[in-house]
Amino acid sequence: MGMIDVTLSAQGIKVCSRGEALPLSRLDFTRPFNRETEGVTSGLGLGLYIANAIVVKHGFSLHYEHVEALNCFEICFKA
């Protein structure tokens, strides 16, 4: 398993790990399943859906970006 980098700041919490970029079709965290990828062994996005629901429930937002071969998810605190 690769390294995971966690960064805490006044703006939020960022978690990054090495990997290929997620396809655009999997970046809608408001849907629990993606019918285009259903049945594949790489997962269906249910975990991201649940994480997003928890983050939103607490008044924050979840953002994704792929930078320099890193998948980065950030929980952004609202001012």
For the chain, 79 residues long, give each residue's pLDDT as a single digit of tens: 579 999 999 999 999 999 999 888 778 887 776 555 555 556 656 888 899 999 999 999 999 999 999 999 999 997 5
What pLDDT does 21 receive? Answer: 93
Query: What pLDDT is attached to residue 22?
Result: 87
Q: How many domains does the chain have?
A: 1
Q: Which has the closest alpha carbon to 70: 38, 23, 22, 11?
A: 22
Domain that holds residue 14: 4-76
Global pTM reads: 0.78
The pair of structure tokens assigned to 73 is 């998810």
